[in-house]
């Protein structure tokens, strides 16, 4: 399999945007490693859906905020299966709070998963990708990392950090044929936005020129493009999928 099929790892791939990305990449012909931290059942559901549609996938348990675990698990994975072709750093959490009320543990958790996790995973796969002189690394940031949002200072800092990280490593990796880009979703219909009140949703919709929330498929479509050879001349970019909310 290592030489016959392209391989992709999607962190946080068991639900929401990550699940949709996993399914789309499998549809595109990738063998997809669906990463999860604790919810094995959801990851297995995604793998089963992919299998029923004729694709190939495998659930893989890994806490991306654990540097040692990332090195060991992804090191073993690449040794057994060969270098990855695509890495999608999608894993993320929100621990919303006004800055003056923020708990240190919530700040640490947000930065550890949303920012450090992406850095750890990128580091763990980059070397083997460099040897093959190909690969696409895609960060899933957020419109909040571009425009800020009250009560989400830690989340915004982590997501903005991904943008700067992308630009730096895109320059480091370009001579070896690797591409690194960032996708910044706006308000997408997931469990996260499902928790909003009707008043909050109406206020958000008023700020979106296209007048509607996005769908996980909107993000998956762009990731599909960035994972493909059709985007071979695109690297270091931040591409928004937000209905015009931020331009």
Residues designated catalytic = 155
Nearest C-alpha neighbor of 116 from the set 89, 148, 137, 78: 89
Residue 240 phi/psi, 5-degree rounding, is -90, 140
Residue 156, H or E segment: helix 153-173
- Evaluate whether 187 touches 202 at the Cβ level (below 8 Å): no
- Cα–Cα distance for residue pair 240/159, rounded to 1 Å: 13
Tokens of 194: 């499902």
DSSP state of 53: T
- Evaluate whether 177 touches 134 at the Cβ level (below 8 Å): yes
Question: What's the alpha-carbon Rg for the chain, to the nearest Å?
Answer: 17
Nearest C-alpha neighbor of 53 from the set 18, 80, 29: 29
């Amino acid at each position: 399999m290592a030489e016959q099929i392209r391989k992709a790892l999607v962190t946080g791939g068991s639900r929401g945007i990550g699940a949709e990305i996993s399914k789309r990449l499998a549809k595109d012909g990738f063998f997809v490693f669906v990463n999860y931290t604790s919810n094995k059942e959801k990851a297995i559901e995604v793998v089963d859906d992919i299998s029923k549609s004729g694709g190939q996938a495998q659930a893989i348990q890994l806490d991306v905020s654990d540097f040692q675990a990332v090195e060991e698990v992804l090191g073993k994975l690449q040794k057994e299966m060969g270098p990855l072709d695509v890495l999608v750093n999608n894993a993320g959490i929100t621990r919303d709070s006004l800055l003056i009320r923020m708990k240190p543990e919530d700040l640490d958790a947000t930065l550890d998963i949303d920012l450090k996790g992406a850095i750890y995973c990128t580091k763990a796969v980059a070397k083997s990708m460099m040897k093959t002189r190909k690969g696409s690394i895609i960060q899933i940031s957020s419109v909040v990392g571009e425009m800020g949002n009250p009560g989400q200072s830690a989340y915004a800092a982590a997501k903005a950090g991904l943008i700067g990280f992308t630009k730096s490593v895109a320059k480091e990796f370009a001579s070896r044929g690797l591409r690194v880009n960032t996708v910044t979703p706006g308000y997408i219909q997931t469990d996260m936005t499902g928790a909003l009140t009707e008043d909050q949703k109406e206020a958000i919709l008023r700020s979106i020129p296209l007048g509607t929330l996005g769908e996980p498929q909107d993000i998956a479509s762009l990731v599909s493009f960035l994972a493909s050879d059709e985007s071979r001349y695109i690297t270091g970019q931040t591409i928004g999928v937000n209905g015009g909310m931020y331009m």
